[in-house]
Structure 1
Amino acid sequence: MVLFSQAFAAAVLLAAGVVAHPGGNTNREILRRQAHLDHPERRNVASCKRDLVESGWVREQHIRREARLHELRVAAGFAKEHEIVRRDPAEAEEEYGASAACTLDPESTEGPYWVMGELIRSDVLTGEKGAITHLDINIIDTSGCKPVTDAYVELWGSNATGVYTGVVAKGNGDGSNTAVATNALRGVQPTGKNGTATFTTVIPGHYVGRTNHLHTIIHHGAQLLANNTIRGGTISHVGQFYIEQNFLAQVEATAPYNTNKQAITKNAVDPLFNMGKQGGDDPVMKISLIGSKIEDGLYATIDIGVNPKAKQNPQAVNLWTAKGGQPIPNSPWTGYPDTCKYCGFRPPMEKKDVLEEQ
């Protein structure tokens, strides 16, 4: 029944002919997600609940996250050192895999605005304003049910008014080149001993055809270069994170989000969000207020289940350089959304584009 429901959902979305970005068709991305859901080797974080609880990892992460949120509140003047409020770790262990910030392994599109060559850095704000978010991303190897301690996590998203930096494209805000020279809200971080990568970013703004979302790519075996970027290795995961709709509405009411004139697409009608919720996955971040209001800052967490042996083949549109984002020759996203290879309906080229075992 679950497989039937997933296939039915995919068929409905394909028939709708919905768009991923202005002028772009999501059929290719929907089929890619469906192929991932149907793969016999697929496991998500919930599949590892017993192992992660018995190893003590869930308890350790719960305690660490409580401490991190308290640290942020103390630094912002909203709490004192001795005032930390603790929750019974046993409750967190019981609920693990059944709530937001867990159970995530949705393969999704890299989209038309991925820029390769981003810097290794935790704070990716570069002057951007918005709902400042301290984001902890945990990477779990679902083939062995252990944290991944030697990966690089890449993160990027639009700014508060729905514009991606490092690219020029029709439909990317006003389509001008005002953002091509900056790499704001883009960066890469290594995972630590608990499989955690940490970023400071903003809740992304909305733009035509998509609900608000962050993009991520998980790199394995990449080489750290002298210019503070990475090269080589393999990519096991291409995904997107989302925000709960009621909270998102509160964010959109604050400045500068409330100056964004682009049409809003809600989670409920976003095709990739709905596909991301299939198969027991939950691509919604768990978000806590640092103070009493959104403007005081946010702390967000999410876990990603990956198979490190998987090989994805996302395609970037630009390469980040000292001169800003530079076009990559023959990128299938070049000309988006009018003349690119990926503009219209494209099924996955090969099975290995979804999951390939070594």
Structure 2
Amino acid sequence: MVQLSQALAAILLATGIVAHPGGNTNREILRRQAHLDHPNRRSIQSCKRDLVASGWVREQHQRREARLHELRVAAGFAKAHELVRRDPAEVEANYGVEAACTLDPESTEGPYWVSGELIREDLLTGEKGAITHLDVNIIDTSGCKPVTDAYVELWGSNATGVYTGVQAKGNGDGSATAIKTNALRGLQLTGSNGTAKFITVIPGHYVGRTNHLHTIVHHGAKLLPNNTIQGGTISHVGQFYIDQNFLGQVEKTSPYNVNKQAVTTNSADPLFNMAKQGGDDPVLKISLIGNKIEDGLYATIDVGVNPKARQNPQAVNAWTANGGVPIPNSPWAGYPDSCRYCGFRPPKEKKDVLVEE
């Protein structure tokens, strides 16, 4: 598997495919490859026996069934007494095999991470789209137990492929119209079962990337009076994706269907292809709440982390009462033209070889 990953990485590096508008994925591909090659790396699949034996897999399956039913009842698509459960033994046997909800990639924070976001479940702030109730479960792959009291940060673009809290060329029309809002950004604390809950939308596509959500996992952070966090460590930086066939259905709905940016499919996205390596599956498991996408969605994913790991992502802006404010000397400042993290570029004499400037 390592040899396959390295071969794929070499191919993707040679293509020089863009990441975010005007950017380059090379730095991000190399970061993912280094994670795959790390001798201490363990995925959630490595913990299957322990998670099943402890009852966690069965408990989470039953909780998720109940949560989906609760959402369906609240939306008027089911009666409280109509809950039908799947055989938990079947779920335990197939955990980590057929459940599209196991994830252990390290990826990039990207150029649009804004630090200092609020702790909140509902991230919508007026944004429209395929409303998604998302449960993110955090698992300690070094001890095979759920991670409690960790802050999970989540952000993504809106239905038309625009990130809030930032201004950059290629982020929508490049204007400052979105910098005053923190829509589709926030953090949640994991509970005793390792779950953080969000309400967001399926992100829209934009030039160079397939649809995806970003996440960062914080440990030991201090809760501040203004409902943000400070300090602590970061163990995980990752991205979540959506099944391509389902994306095709989402993109036909409003307001996704007015997004005129070029589409990049999962199969054409180099970071998606790298995220699928090493036995991982970064695709959300999504269920309809009603009869159609517009009725709402329920999504889940399990994230494997090593709480002792230390990642050092860099934000481009910080969220304040006045909106997103640039962080001095951020390596993402000036994206995509002049930032230190803009990627690798080929030397003039050899267009097919990429080196770091």
Name the counterpart of 1:315: 314
AA paired with 1:148?
Answer: V
Write the distance in 1 (CA, Å) between the matches of 2:56 and 2:208.
Answer: 38
What are the equivalent positions in structure 2 for 1:265-280 lying under 5 Å apart? Answer: 265-280=264-279
Q: Give 1:350's aligned residue.
A: none
The runs of at least 4 consecutive aligned structure 1 residues that moved more than 6 Å come to none
Q: Supply the distance in 2 between the matched residues of 1:99 and 1:311 (Cα, whole angstroms).
A: 30
Alignment of 1:105-120 (within 5 A): 105-120=104-119
Q: Name the counterpart of 1:354.
A: none
Looking at structure 1, the residues matched to 343 and 284 of structure 2 have their Cα atoms a distance apart, in angstroms, of: 30
Residue 267 of structure 2 corresponds to residue 236 of structure 1: no
Deviation per CA, 1:93-138: give whole Å up to 9, x if none.
Answer: 0110013443211100100000000000000000000000000000
How far is 1:344 from its partner?
2.4
TM score, norm. by length of structure 1: 0.96
Q: Which residue is equivalent to 1:155?
A: 154
CA RMSD of the aligned region, Å? 0.7
- Show structure 1 runs of 5+ residues with no match: 347-358
Q: How far apart, CA to CA, are the structure 1 residues paired with 2:125 and 2:138?
A: 25
Structure 1 counterpart of 2:215: 216
1:247, CA displacement in angstroms? Answer: 0.3
Is the partner of 2:166 in helix, strand or coil? coil
Specify the code of the residue in structure 2 equivalent to 1:302. Answer: I
Is the Cα–Cα contact under 8 Å of residues 46 and 102 in structure 1 kept in the other structure?
Answer: no
Aligned sequence identity (%): 82
Mapped partners of 2:337, 2:89: distance in 1: 53
Q: Following the alignment from structure 1 to structure 2, what is the Cα–Cα distance between the partners of residues 230 and 336?
A: 26
Question: Which residue is 1:254 aligned to?
Answer: 253
| TM-score of the aligned structures, taking structure 2 as reference length | 0.96
Find the aligned partners of 1:99 and 1:313 in 2 and give their Cα distance. 33
Q: Which moved more, 1:304-313 or 1:95-104?
A: 95-104
Distance 1:173 1:43 in 2: 38
Q: How many residues are aligned here?
A: 345
What residue in structure 1 maps to residue 2 of structure 2?
3
Whether 1:82 aligns to 2:54 is no
Q: Which residue of 2 aligns with 1:292?
A: 291
Is residue 14 of structure 1 aligned with residue 17 of structure 2? no
Instruction: Provide the residue aligned with 2:354 in structure 1.
Output: none
CA distance in 2, matches of 1:3, 1:144: 24
User: Residues of 2 paired with 1:298 and 1:101: CA distance?
Assistant: 16
CA-to-aligned-CA distance 1:197-223 (integer Å, 9 cap, x gap): 000000000000000000000000000
Match of 2:48 in 1: 49
Structure 1 distance, partners of 2:89, 2:74, is 28
Counterpart Cα distance in 2 of 1:320 and 1:249: 33
1:64-113 superposed Cα distances (whole Å, 9 cap, x missing partner): 00000000000000000000111000111011001344321110010000
Alignment of 1:131 with 2:144, yes or no, is no
1:44-68 alpha-carbon deviations (Å, 9 max, x no partner): 0000000000000000000000000
| Equivalent in the alignment of 1:95 | 94
Q: Distance in 2 between matches of 1:98 and 1:255?
A: 34
Q: Which secondary structure state, in structure 1, belongs to the residue aligned with residue 34 of structure 2?
A: helix
- Measured in 1, the distance between the counterparts of 2:44 and 2:50 equals 10
Question: In structure 2, how many angstroms separate the alpha carbons of the residues matched to 1:158 and 1:145?
Answer: 32
State the distance in 1 between where 2:142 and 2:80 align.
Answer: 39
Per the alignment, residue 173 of structure 2 pairs with: 174
